């Protein structure tokens, strides 16, 4: 009975916070821009795998050009392409194709930040996505990602399925300010209809974040695959220069980050989610710094001139 | 100018540089120490390893098809290591495995992780103490036989002494325990002595006992980022490494 009352009280408090703060929506542009800005960027998507005993590695390297149109007040149209440069993974990865085409909007209601997105996402998904981040304190926050998507692939022409797949992953974030270290524990239903738990620890340095992760997913046991349900590895996220950006209407720049994720069991299925932004990464998170000045977002990698 | 002089001195001494272990962790040639990199230091490197330093396992021999003889082989490793906090060092290492004598025969690899903790920092009167493990988690090349080719656990201590006029020596000692029988020759009390001259503080000369062999070598840090390493195992077998240090803080 006491526990039920506590849960109800918590829900009421959160709802009250949202209601009271609805009038305090932050309308300040993230970059102080007076008009819309278009970023034209390009990066490299580097993949390698070691799954054969008689070959050291196989590589898949894609050029990833993209366009981001910061329309107004945290509304953004994002496109990204995959152009194979070196492909040893097979025919499914051979064609240049659209990777991301999404429209998203960041909003803040008191301590709650929301980011709905619609369009084409990575992992060949299309549909709707909602990200929510609720900051409880400087070191504690809650996060949730929910999506309703279908399959859309341009690997061999056009292949599409109706919207049918739900994804719901939520959890808790801890941030230790003194060491710029973040711990994240999330769980739920992931992209391949698997239920799992994912934990990671990231140390954020000046322009680089390095971390370890562990995960459990029932994908392998549920599908009869002879692989462990446990997996882990490490991540490296590097914010790429230039670190000073102009206020020009059209900007040409490299991709703002390079991510490397080492997957110990070479498991491409378990605990997967899609990206709604082609430059999304664990260091910069889902929201821009002036929407969500929490955790690693306080480490400003990029300054506006 | 200082760096060029360093290179010339090293070439004259016919010493390659190898003050760190081939798995990317800070140490001597084939012996762990209780020294730690500064926090935020990342190393990306590769190391040529003589067969004398390799485990005496069939995975580190290639079989001559005509005679049936097994031959141990020299190999190489590459690694990524990081000191994310002052008290812990982590490393991910790949060691190439060969099935023949040619370069193209190096077709697979052993992957493993290493870790070192530093619960006690060096003080004026006491040494630094570290506890660590190499290859505590690795690849599963053969599911019927646990790999752990390099798996060992150790307790190490290091103490630096200023011997006057800026010259420094350091004494390192460790007890190392190997899981696999074919590595037992490297088990037990190991250690070494290093010397850093006052006139070339970026150079370090070392001598060690790795439980089986007496090894010596040197290293040098050039332009603050490039660490050159090499050694002679048992006074005869050459190993060398090259590493790029990145300071993330």
pLDDT at B109: 86
B117 Cβ contact list (under 8 Å, min separation 6):
B87, B88, B130, B131, B132
Q: Determine the Cα–Cα distance for residues A165 and A128; give it in Å rounded to an integer.
A: 11
Contact state of A205 with B248 under an 8 Å Cβ cutoff:
yes
Task: Classify the complex by whether its ipTM is higher than 0.90, answering yes or no.
Answer: no
B210 Cβ contact list (under 8 Å, min separation 6):
B29, B30, B31, B186, B190
A–B CB contacts, 8 A cutoff, strictly below: 32
> What pLDDT, in 10s, does the model give residues A79-127?
999 999 999 999 999 999 999 999 999 999 999 999 999 999 999 999 9
Q: Could you tell me if B40 lies within 8 Å of chain A, comparing CB atoms?
A: yes
A56 Cβ contact list (under 8 Å, min separation 6):
A50, B96, B106, B107, B108, B109
Chain B residues within an 8 Å CB radius of A50: 109, 111
In whole numbers, what is the pLDDT of chain A averaged over residues? 87
Contact state of A234 with B42 under an 8 Å Cβ cutoff:
no
Per DSSP (E only), the strands in chain A are 37-49, 58-72, 75-87, 97-105, 107-109, 112-121, 125-135, 140-153, 159-160, 165-176, 181-189, 195-204, 208-217, 230-239, 244-245, 250-254, 257-263, 303-304
Chain A residues within an 8 Å CB radius of B109: 50, 56
Location of structure tokens 């790999």: B147
Higher-confidence position of B247 and A266: B247
pLDDT at B130: 97
Location of structure tokens 């005509």: B66
> What pLDDT, in 10s, does the model give residues A114-136?
999 999 999 999 999 999 999 99
Contact (Cβ atoms closer than 8 angstroms) between residue A161 and residue A150: yes
pLDDT at B1: 54
Which one of A48, A208, A239 makes the best mutation probe of the B interface by having the most chain B beta carbons within 10 Å?
A: A208
**How many C-alpha atoms does B103 have within 13 Å on its Cβ side?**
1
Contact state of A262 with B92 under an 8 Å Cβ cutoff:
yes
Q: Could you tell me if B38 lies within 8 Å of chain A, comparing CB atoms?
A: no
Whether residue A169 has pLDDT greater than 50: yes
Contact state of B40 with A50 under an 8 Å Cβ cutoff:
no
Q: Could you tell me if B100 lies within 8 Å of chain A, comparing CB atoms?
A: no
Single pTM value for the model:
0.84
Whether residue B6 has pLDDT greater than 50: no
Query: Which whole number is the average pLDDT over B178-186?
Result: 90
pLDDT at B63: 85
Chain A residues within an 8 Å CB radius of B96: 56
> What pLDDT, in 10s, does the model give residues A11-45?
444 433 333 333 333 333 344 444 689 999 999 99
Which one of A176, A203, A267 makes the best mutation probe of the B interface by having the most chain B beta carbons within 10 Å?
A: A203
Which one of A58, A178, A205, A228 makes the best mutation probe of the B interface by having the most chain B beta carbons within 10 Å?
A: A205
Q: Determine the Cα–Cα distance for residues B172 and B161; give it in Å rounded to an integer.
A: 11
pLDDT at A26: 32
> What pLDDT, in 10s, does the model give residues B35-52?
999 999 999 999 999 888
Chain B residues within an 8 Å CB radius of A234: 92
Location of structure tokens 């390659």: B16
């Amino acid at each position: 009975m006491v526990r039920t009352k506590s849960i109800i009280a918590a829900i009421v408090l959160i709802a009250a916070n949202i209601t009271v703060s609805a009038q305090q929506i932050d309308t300040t542009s993230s970059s102080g821009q007076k008009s819309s800005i278009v970023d034209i960027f390009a990066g490299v998507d580097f993949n390698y795998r070691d799954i054969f005993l008689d070959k050291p590695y196989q590589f898949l390297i894609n050029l990833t050009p993209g366009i981001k149109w910061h329309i107004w007040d945290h509304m953004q149209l994002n496109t990204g392409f995959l152009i194979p440069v070196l492909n040893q993974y097979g025919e499914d990865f051979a064609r240049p194709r659209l990777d991301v085409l999404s429209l998203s909007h960041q909003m803040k209601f008191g301590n709650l930040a929301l980011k709905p997105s619609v369009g084409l996402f990575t992992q060949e998904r299309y549909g709707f996505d909602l990200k929510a981040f609720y900051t409880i304190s400087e070191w504690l926050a809650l996060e949730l990602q929910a999506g309703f998507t279908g399959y859309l692939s341009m690997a061999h022409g056009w292949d599409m399925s109706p919207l049918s797949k739900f994804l719901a992953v939520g959890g808790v974030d801890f941030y230790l300010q003194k060491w710029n270290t973040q711990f994240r524990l999330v769980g739920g239903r992931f992209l391949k209809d698997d239920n799992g738990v994912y934990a990671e620890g990231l140390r954020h340095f000046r322009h680089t974040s390095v971390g370890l992760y562990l995960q459990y997913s029932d994908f392998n046991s549920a599908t009869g695959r002879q692989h462990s349900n446990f997996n882990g590895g490490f991540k490296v996220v590097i914010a790429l220069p230039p670190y000073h950006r102009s206020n020009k209407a059209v900007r040409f720049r490299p991709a703002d980050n390079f991510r490397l994720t080492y997957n110990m069991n070479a498991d491409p299925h378990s605990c997967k989610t899609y990206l709604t932004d082609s430059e999304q990464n664990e260091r910069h998170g889902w929201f821009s710094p002036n929407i969500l000045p929490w955790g690693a977002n306080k480490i400003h990698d990029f300054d506006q001139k | 100018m200082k760096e060029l002089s360093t290179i010339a001195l090293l070439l004259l001494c016919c010493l390659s540089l190898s003050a760190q272990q081939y798995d990317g962790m800070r140490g001597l040639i084939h012996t762990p120490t209780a020294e730690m990199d500064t926090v935020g230091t990342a190393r990306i490197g590769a190391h040529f390893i003589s067969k004398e330093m390799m485990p005496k396992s069939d995975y580190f021999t290639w079989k001559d098809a005509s005679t049936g003889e097994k031959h141990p082989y020299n190999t190489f490793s590459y690694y990524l290591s990081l000191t994310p906090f002052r008290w812990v060092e982590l490393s991910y290492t790949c060691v190439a495995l060969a099935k023949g004598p040619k370069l193209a025969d190096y077709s697979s690899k052993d992957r493993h992780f290493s870790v070192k903790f530093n619960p006690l920092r060096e003080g004026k009167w006491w040494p630094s103490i570290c506890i660590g493990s190499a290859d505590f988690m690795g690849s599963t090349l053969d599911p019927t036989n646990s790999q752990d080719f390099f798996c060992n656990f150790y307790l190490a201590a290091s103490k630096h002494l200023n011997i006057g006029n800026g010259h420094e020596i350091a004494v390192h000692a460790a007890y190392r325990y190997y899981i696999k029988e074919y590595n037992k020759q490297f088990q037990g009390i190991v250690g070494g002595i290093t010397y850093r001259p006052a006139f070339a503080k970026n150079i370090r000369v070392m001598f060690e006992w790795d439980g089986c062999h007496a090894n010596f070598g040197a290293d040098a840090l050039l332009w603050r980022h490039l660490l050159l390493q090499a050694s002679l195992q048992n006074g005869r077998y050459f190993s060398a490494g090259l590493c790029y240090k990145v300071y993330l803080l």
